[in-house]
Amino acid sequence: MTTATAVLREMRWWDIDPVLELEHELFPDDAWSTGMFWSELARARGPRATHRYVVAEDPDGRVVGYAGLASAGDLADVQTIAVSRSHWGGGLGSELLTDLLRHATAFECAAVLLEVRVDNTRAQKLYERFGFEPIGFRRGYYQPGNIDALVMRLTVQGTETD
């Protein structure tokens, strides 16, 4: 899949360093560690994979976005999604999310959940456009700062159970 400026492909261990650079730029207060990405990627390969991690690469081979999804039984969670500031508004966030949702379907999940900071309206708008609906709050979920998380949920098409 491509946009005018980037191509999506599976995230591999050699992407962790460039992903961490973006991670620290975009989530300065609660950036993931190298070990967290290694642990997630360990679940993203092979016939029993439960996770999907994807990167977006620009024409020079630079990682300009990434996203990850974890499934457990019939529920999936958007673990992370991020796009380099210089590429915001170009549709890359939508492409990354589309990739994750396709994998949620492949993992036979009935619903996808996510947490988003209550003050992150940009990300919330992206999720709303895909049909995610707010279902509650997690108080003080983001530390430091004691920022609440809005929990959002999407029923995966074709697997509606309620």
Ligand X SMILES: CC(C)(COP(=O)(O)OP(=O)(O)OC[C@H]1O[C@@H](n2cnc3c(N)ncnc32)[C@H](O)[C@@H]1OP(=O)(O)O)[C@@H](O)C(=O)NCCC(=O)NCCS
Residue with smaller CB distance to ligand X, 70 or 92: 92
Taking the complex as a whole, how short is the minimal distance between the CB of residue 159 and ligand X, in angstroms? 23
Phi then psi for residue 152, to 5 deg, are -125, 155
Our answer to whether residue 57 is catalytic in this structure is no
Residue nearest to ligand X (CB): 93
d(CA 21, CA 107): 29
- 71 sits in which H/E element: strand 63-72
DSSP states along 74-85 = TEEEEEEEEE-G
Catalytic entry in 23, 53, 95, 127: 127
User: Of 126, 123, 8, nearest to 56 (Cα)?
Assistant: 8
Closest distance of CB 129 from ligand X, Å: 6
Using CB under 6 A as the criterion, which residues of the chain lie in contact with ligand X when the complex forms? Answer: 26, 81-83, 87-94, 116, 120, 122-123, 125-126, 129
Dihedrals φ, ψ of 55, to 5°? -120, 160
* 128 flagged as catalytic: no
Single out the catalytic residue among 23, 57, 95, 115. Answer: 115
Amino acid residing at 3: T
Q: Which is nearer to ligand X, 71 or 80 (CB)?
A: 80
Residue number, 44 or 116, with CB nearest to ligand X? 116
Active site residues: 115, 127
